[in-house]
Structure 1
Amino acid sequence: MEKIKNFINGQYHDPISKEWLDNYCPATGAIYGSIPNSSKADVENAYIAAQSAFPNWSTTSLEERSRLLIKISELIEVNLERLSEAESKDNGKPVNLARRIDIPRAASNFRFFGNAITQFSSESHESIGHDAINYTLRQPLGVVGCISPWNLPLYLFTWKIVPALAAGNCVIAKPSEITPMTAYLLGDICNEAGLPPGVLNVVHGLGTTTGQAIIEHPDIKAISFTGGTKTGAHIAKVAAPMFKKLSLELGGKNPNIIFGDCDYETMLDTTLRSSFSNQGQICLCGSRIFVEASIYDRFKADFVTKVKHLRVGHPSQEDSDIGALVSEAHLEKVMGYIKMAAKENGKILCGGHRVTVKDYEKGYYLEPTVIEISSNDCTINQEEVFGPVVTIMPFNSEDEVVRMANSVKYGLSATLWTNDLKRTMRMSHQLEAGIVWVNTWMMRDLRTPFGGTKSSGVGREGGFEALRFFTEPKNVCIKY
């Protein structure tokens, strides 16, 4: 049995309360380890360590901070196989996906922000006629809290902590209690790279205990959170009276809009990926597919054929396209939405059933599911499912599909397939989303701002936006 511990001040510690949580393997349904359910006392110890480390870390040269972060990136790459296997075992995703995407992108986060901090410059303004100059300092906040989700565990964990560290802050981080393993393994990598003790502290536990202790700590200056909209609203309510800075990347119910003039084969292959990558457990998946009526029947037949050929299997098997969902509770939630869709006159074109994988009969497997609907107002098109389930329906006009695309409370991303440049420009302005992909999906540039509108969150991550969030601007005016 694997016993995960808190990483505080460069060392591993049992929880003070001695309270432990079971850690399950989604592919088998078996308990394979335990993690701390950390209390306020554990978070306070992490805060003391972080606050003690802050004066030295915040004044460490940009070059040295950059060197350390890039060294961690290199060590992640050295440990690619070990981290990929751990991610797959903990999350249920195919190991080939973790090896190709999750772990390399975690390494890229360290490398990108390690370089970006050396290019992050201040502004200055000469006051004409007043013999004065103004310049802006960008100073680290102090101790910040980073809370990351279970769907892309190490990738999104590092996406949060690295810009905070690069900007000179010290971090108290909480990975999801469902997928703690790679965040735990990162502690040894940070020590090997020479990251000073206390700069990064990792505390494990439930959101209601450990997460709550982080967000309500009066001296933690900012919270960066990725997760559900309901939890984000709770964090905002708790943090507001303390005037903490907040970056909240929340849920999504993303439209995938397909016009008849698209590059059909590229669209079809990409839509398969944007629907079911990581078992559909990506906040950016296009779960609402709207297809222009002129190609709807063709798309439906071709898409369903491709979906039926996806292989559901154990994550360790290289030919598995779909692994296990992250937990039994989440599997039951997704199944509940499929049943609800059927009750609301949705037609299940393929999938919809739990899968039994030989020798892993207790694993949390589900067929990739396509549901044809007749109304955008049905429950499954209004609420985030976060699983291998998509809906399809036809549309007749641009105005109609824009209206349907925007008719949900979320506004994270949208995908648009068309070769009409004027339509591209029009709809990119009209779609209520933080990011619009045109003729592609999940093409990411770490320099660009990332985040959502409406109930998909507040604030932006990525590039200099993240470095701005984790710093406080101070204007200095000098008369000469």
Structure 2
Amino acid sequence: MDLENLSEVLNYIGGERIPASSGKSLENYEPATGKILGSLPASDSKDVTLAVTAAKEAMNSWGNLSAEVRGFHLENLARGIEENLESLARAESIDNGKPISVSKSLDIPRAAANLRFFAGAARYQHEEAFRTRLPGDDLLNVTVSRPVGVAGCISPWNLPLYLFTWKIAPALAAGCTVVGKPSEVTPVTADLLARIAIDVGFPPGVLNIVHGTGPEAGSPIVGHEDIPAISFTGGTATGAAIGQQAAPTFKKTLLELGGKNPTIIFEDADIDSAVEGAFRAAYSNQGQICLCGSRILIHESIAEEITGRLQKRITEMVIGDPLVENTMMGALVSADHLSKVESCLQTARDEGGEILVGGERVSPEGRCKNGYFLTPALIRGLSHSATTNQEEIFGPVASVLTFKDEEEALQLANGVRYGLAASLWTQDVDRALRFSEKIEAGTVWVNCWMKRDLRTIFGGVKDSGVGREGGTDSLRFFQEPTNICVRFDTQS
């Protein structure tokens, strides 16, 4: 099995790696160098149909396997990932631009953990039963579940293998077969997963991977009449388009979308922990995580100290080659995305914001001199209604706002159209619980950020999504429940 050749990405359909049926391909760029890394299939509806056909043919045999046997196959995939951690981490950093230290410690281990977790969760999933005794009636209601069928799983570019496996693992564990589409911007590790699947003997047709753009490959997946469920993670605008396309056919949709998340620091917070937490929340993965805390809300009594210490942390960051172990911030994912983030910074200036530090292109010496690098930016002086404080940027850009009391902090925290996550920093337990219950967000962290237990729910409110993932919620999305009511004759 060759996991070192990253230049040729292929579709994975019916257990084989094949090019697009049209023979067309797209170029794939390495963010750190700006050079062409290789190619990927420019798939279209014909390729999606081939994948759906393979998935349908495998559906009966896969869906009828016991949870234990399906779990065995998922654990084989997880083991293949773990045994090739170094190669996968290197490939992820080359393809995405993130530091290899992050790929090694987060992305690739979590990809394996996703598969292992849902392999186990499916084994312990149980049916519900209710006994009802009425005069002259003795009823037993049992809710049973079956796989929904072929599942469409579409994942983003920011955490490529991490989120691709987060989508496909519960679908496969629930007994569905899958047609998956990773982002065309970062296709490499999904292709390496296909090579691992072949190597470990994963059943052909159960997992199918179609590469290509959203309009040409993603839209046919969403619209296909034989795909009754779509799980998508990505931008809010794309999620809205998917919802509109899926609605007339009444197919199930699970949408995890954008965020404009607040980091809220109260006057009684542990300053050291709060500064480090706000820093990580704002700039991890080059700020390219939907959970990033891009709005830093600070109590006015400590705002100067927190802001100054954040500036210092930013200037200490090592920005450069993602393949160097001590690099703290790598390249943004593409030239287009770099331009978008720079445009957002100009908007901040135009609206009266002061960029305290960062926001400038960087040209590291050596092979990365033409890469897509940007210093992390910290902005203050903008009103809460400014575009920078209302719209998701998805880059290393954070804005500082101050508040005088809990009421104002809550107004600021909830005063956006998004509601994915929030983190708050306080040593007052009563305040933490009181405030957390009022925040309009799917996840609230107290004195931490991005800590996850895969048994718990994950998802957003408002424009941050529809539905919940995690634990049994993920499994249930890919299943259809039926209630069976049996009446017993208690008179005989």
TM-score, normalised via structure 2 length? 0.97
Which residue in 1 is equivalent to 2:100?
95
Of 126, 129, 153, which residue of structure 2 is paired with 1:146? 153
Of 367, 373, 381, which residue of structure 2 is paired with 1:365? 373
What is the one-letter code of the residue matched to 1:39?
D
Asked whether 1:402 is paired with 2:407, we answer no
Which residue in 1 is equivalent to 2:298?
291
Question: Which ranges in structure 2 are unaligned for 5 or more consecutive residues?
Answer: 1-5
What is the one-letter code of the residue matched to 2:64?
T
Which residue in 1 is equivalent to 2:284?
277
Structure-1 separation of matches of 2:196 and 2:174: 20
- Listed one character per residue, the Cα deviations across residues 376-411 of structure 1 (whole Å, up to 9, x for unaligned) are 111100000000110012111110111011111100
Asked whether 1:52 is paired with 2:60, we answer no
Structure-1 separation of matches of 2:147 and 2:302: 53
Which residue in 1 is equivalent to 2:458?
450
- Listed one character per residue, the Cα deviations across residues 48-103 of structure 1 (whole Å, up to 9, x for unaligned) are 00000000000001111111111211111100000000000000000111000000
Shift, 1:2, TM fit: 1.1
Structure-2 separation of matches of 1:301 and 1:39: 51
Which residue in 2 is equivalent to 1:479?
487
For the Cα contact (< 8 Å) 2:27–2:36, is it kept in 1? yes
Shift, 1:430, TM fit: 0.9
What is the one-letter code of the residue matched to 2:26?
L
- Listed one character per residue, the Cα deviations across residues 274-318 of structure 1 (whole Å, up to 9, x for unaligned) are 111100000001000010011111111111011111011010011
- Listed one character per residue, the Cα deviations across residues 335-361 of structure 1 (whole Å, up to 9, x for unaligned) are 011111011111111001100111222
Asked whether 1:329 is paired with 2:336, we answer yes
Shift, 1:132, TM fit: 2.3
Structure-1 separation of matches of 2:198 and 2:121: 22
Query: Is the partner of 1:370 in helix, strand or coil?
Result: strand
Query: Is the partner of 1:273 in helix, strand or coil?
Result: helix
Of 63, 70, 84, which residue of structure 2 is paired with 1:65? 70
Shift, 1:196, TM fit: 0.8
Structure-1 separation of matches of 2:293 and 2:96: 21
Shift, 1:156, TM fit: 0.2
Instruction: Please report the RMSD computed on the Cα atoms of aligned residues, expressed in angstroms.
Output: 0.9
Structure-2 separation of matches of 1:299 and 1:2: 45
The 4+ residue runs of structure 1 with deviation greater than 3 A are none
Which residue in 1 is equivalent to 2:7?
2
What is the one-letter code of the residue matched to 2:95?
D
Asked whether 1:222 is paired with 2:229, we answer yes
Which residue in 2 is equivalent to 1:108?
113
Aligned length: 480
Which residue in 1 is equivalent to 2:467?
459
Structure-2 separation of matches of 1:374 and 1:197: 54
Structure-1 separation of matches of 2:435 and 2:14: 50
Query: How do residues 70-85 of structure 1 correspond to structure 2 at under 5 angstroms?
Result: 70-85=75-90
Of 245, 249, 256, which residue of structure 2 is paired with 1:242? 249
Structure-1 separation of matches of 2:381 and 2:422: 19
Identity of aligned residues (%): 51
Which residue in 2 is equivalent to 1:302?
309
Structure-2 separation of matches of 1:132 and 1:433: 40
Asked whether 1:419 is paired with 2:427, we answer yes
Of 6, 14, 23, which residue of structure 2 is paired with 1:18? 23
Query: Is the partner of 1:449 in helix, strand or coil?
Result: coil
- Listed one character per residue, the Cα deviations across residues 241-277 of structure 1 (whole Å, up to 9, x for unaligned) are 1010000000000000001101111111122111111
